[in-house]
Structure formats: C-alpha cells, structure tokens
Structure 1
Amino acid sequence: MLYIIGLGLADERDVSVKGLEIIRKASRVYLEAYTAVLLVNQQQLEAYYGRPVIIADREMVESHSDSILASADTHDIAFLVVGDPFSATTHTDLALRCRQHDPPIPTRTLPNASILTAVGATGLSLYTFGQTVSMVFFTESWRPASFYDRVGENAGLGLHTLVLLDIKVKEPDLEAMARGRVVYEAPRFMSVAQCAGQMLEVEAERGQGVCGRERLAVGVARLGSEDERIVAGTLEELAGADLGPPLHSLVLCGKKMHEMEWEYVREFAVDREKFDRVWKAEYKGQG
C-alpha cells in the first residue's frame, strides 16, 4: 500500500501518531520536497522517525514515479507531504497512477494541517475565503498576471484571497543547461514583501483597483511554529515588511470583512490607526 501522509506545517513533531507508526514500519519512506518544505532538515526528520528518508524532488515524482511505486502492491511505502496530502495536485496525480497501475496499488491518506486551514490564525473567517491563487517570482521576461483576474473575482464577491508564494527548490540553471552542464540554483523562497510588491506592480499596469496600495492584507510566516509571525496592513505597508525566514503566505482581505474579523486582525497591524481608518472607510458595513 502507498500511504500518503501529511506532516503538518512546522517540524518533525507535527506528524500524527498514526502517521508516525506507519513511517516506522514502512519498507521505504519518501519526502516530497518541492511543493513545500518543513522548517527542519532531513537529518532531524530521520532522527525523530528512526528511519532513512529518501528525498523525492520534482523530477522523481513527476517523471520517475515508478521508482516510488515499485513493490507498493506487496509492501508498505510511505510518501510524506508537507501540510496536507491533497493541497497540491501533484499528489492527486500520484494517487491516480496507483489506481491505473496493473495491478492497482491500494492507497491510504492521512490528513494534517495545511496553510489552507492554518491561515485561520489571522482571525479571518475561513468561510469567507474565495479562490486560492499562487504568486510566482517575476523575471525580466516573464511576469504572469493571471492571479489578478481571480483575485478580482474574489474581490467582486467581497471574499478574502489566500495567496501562496513561490518556492524554488532544486531548480535547474537554464544558462548552465544551455552549455551542457546540469547545475541547480540556490533555493529561493518568496517573501510577503516581494509578493505585495509584485501585486502593486500588476495593479499599476491593470488599474482596476483589485490590488491597490490601500487594500488591506495580512502576511503570515512560519505558521504553526513557535516563532510564527502575522503582520497586517495595507499592501503598500506589507511591501516593506520583514517577516523573517520562510515560509510566507499573504491574504488579501475581502470587503465583507466582519467587525469581529477586524477586531482580531487589527492587533497585528503595522499601524493600527491607519488600519482602523482604512477598514472603517472601505470595509465596515460591506458584509
């Protein structure tokens, strides 16, 4: 059987008791290490699990999954996922491959906390979130703005938008590849400030008010850990905020932000007076 096990958000201790029991008995243990990362390293995980862990990068999972699924029809294989197993479509694809295998490989999923639910720590109601969007690193030649339309759809309904920020782990250096060498770039993790800055850049181009400077937003970092950070303010303020090490996410607040949400979130504000002024002028009474 292939066990797809959620690890939670922070460290080795966030795994469930059921998950840990399976990990310690499995024939092989893989850690998917490119859609998200834990705040601890591989060695710390192995010490806690008492088992060696095989790092499964994008190439292995997407192009060489047969090596992961080998003997899974007769042995137990543990596939570990940061957060919740099905927060990324990659893991749905792996489960589908198990169904299509000849003979089919039985699977079992063990859920855990993910950013999709942990973001409730901001005080924003999970019932009033719309579509989740992703923000990728802009380059000189590639500045995708598809997120803007989906944020606009959420904004039109008064809903909050969770923005998942780009991470680059074991990404090939394209210039080196062009010269026939396989070289990987250093890992990069987008910050709340970078995300807010890119949103403001696209707003300057599109000009529809979806991601304006005075839009209220909440930045989060390392949710679930002992040093988690939550900072609220306008997008302009968050573009200059430093929330420390990764992982970061951002929430753009919807206009239906309830008074109880405002009362909770304002405690995290960069400038509480400004936060209150913007909320009362643009958000109060919209819900």
Structure 2
Amino acid sequence: MADDSRNNQQHTIGSYAAIGDSFTEGVGDPGPDGTFVGWADRFAVLLADRLPAPDPAAGSEDFPHLDSPHGDFRYANLAVRGRLLDQIVEEQVPRAKELAPDLVTFCAGGNDIIRPGTDPDDLAERFERAVADLSNAVGTVMVTTGFDTRGVPVLRHMRGKIATYNVHLRAIADRYRCPVLDLWSLRSVQDRRAWDADRLHLSPEGHTRVALRAAQVLGHDVPADPDQPWPPQAQRRPFDERRDNIQWAREYLVPWIGRRLRGESSGDHVEAKRPDLLPL
C-alpha cells in the first residue's frame, strides 16, 4: 500500500462533494431506490460518523439537521456517468466551487484514457488547471488515481497510459498538497469479484473497499481493512472463461461499441443524483 501519511487530514470534515464520472456516481452498486450508491456515498457515511452526535436536548424545529443521525454533515455527489474530463471541469467544478465544501474528491480522465489517441500528458495539464481552480475555493481536494488494469481484458493494453497519467496525478497532488486516493496500489480491487459483470465498473464490494481506503487516506480508523484477502475461490475451467467472455461481449461490449459509433454516451440525459449539499 502506498504511504500517503504526509497527506493525512486529521481535522473534522463537515461537508463533502464528489465530482467525476460513473465510478464516482456509483455505477455497479445499485441501491434499493433504483439509484446507485457507490464508494463516494459510502465514504460520506464514514466521514459523517466521525462528527459529534447531535444533542438530543436541542429542538429539531430550531435545528432541523438534528433529525439526521449524522448531525450537521452535508454531502453532494455531482458525478455523472460517461463524462470526459473537460465536461467534468465545465459542468461540475463550478458547482463544487459554489458549494465550497470542506472536502472535494476529484476523479476524472478515465473515459478520456480509453479513447484512442488520448495523450495522458495533455490530459494531466488540463486536470492540473482544474485542481488549481478548486484548491482556491474549497477546503481540501482529494485526487484519485486510475486502477491497475492488468487483469481487465478490455483495458489491459491501456495500462501504460494509465500509469503515465497516474504519475502526473501524484505530482499534481504534491504541488497542491492534495491527499491521494491511490487505486493503483489497492490490490484487493484486482480480484474479479471487485468488479461488476460489465468489467468496467466496481461491484458493491469493490466500491466498499474504495470507500474504506479513502477514509484511511485521511487518517481515519475504518471498520475493515480494504486490502484484506478475498475468500478462496474454486479454479475456473477454460471453457467457463470462454463462455463468460462471449456472453460479456454480447451484453456489454457490442452495445458500448454501438454507442461510440452513434456518438452517444451512457450519461446522456442523466443528471447528478445529489446536486446540493444535503444531510445524509
């Protein structure tokens, strides 16, 4: 695990806004109401649990936030699936600055990286301008790196581009004193079970482990080790792998290619699920 202790933020966080794409929106982690949960929502709960409990003697009419078990803590999630870096900077960064929370998590560039011809050096320059802009308006900006994709069939060949982008992100974080949520070093999410059936988004357990790691980065105690080993799994037969690959291509790869050819995005007509800083 990478040592980000120099970036640990020990102060209490009373408000948090997440910006990004499908990863931060929570795709792959469906909730009971039809919306996605995801690591950012789970991380928000971990942050809220650190706030002092509300005073039961205070009247809820005078202090409406006391109806919430998490007291004053407020959370916004501005992320929308399919968004490219420039779209996130244009649509979400201004709103995050307007909300001015104590913490912003910034994860962007993944959808750019998987497009042919993307230059990770140029992408990082645009990312840095957004970090500089955010740093002047909010309390803390947590920078999120990309995953190690060596075990992901579709994304394995992009591993070098992702690694280059990650090096830039760490340098940017150093320059602006940002904590780093290093997903490349989180070994537990390299297991197949950490990923949804589409192989592009995390499963509920994968999102949970990322949330735990994010809390660790801020120096918080967490209820479980995000890198704890997965239970042993039976060996899969080559026939099963081939069958799963064919089914995956039919259900996910072909529709994805179709959307690309038509110039469509999975995020078309999708809006942020929590556009305002609200109590949990």
TM-score, normalised to structure 1, is 0.28
Higher fraction of helix: 2
| Bigger Rg, structure 1 or 2 | 1
More strand by share: 1
Q: Which has the bigger relative contact order, CA under 8 A and spacing at least 6? A: 2
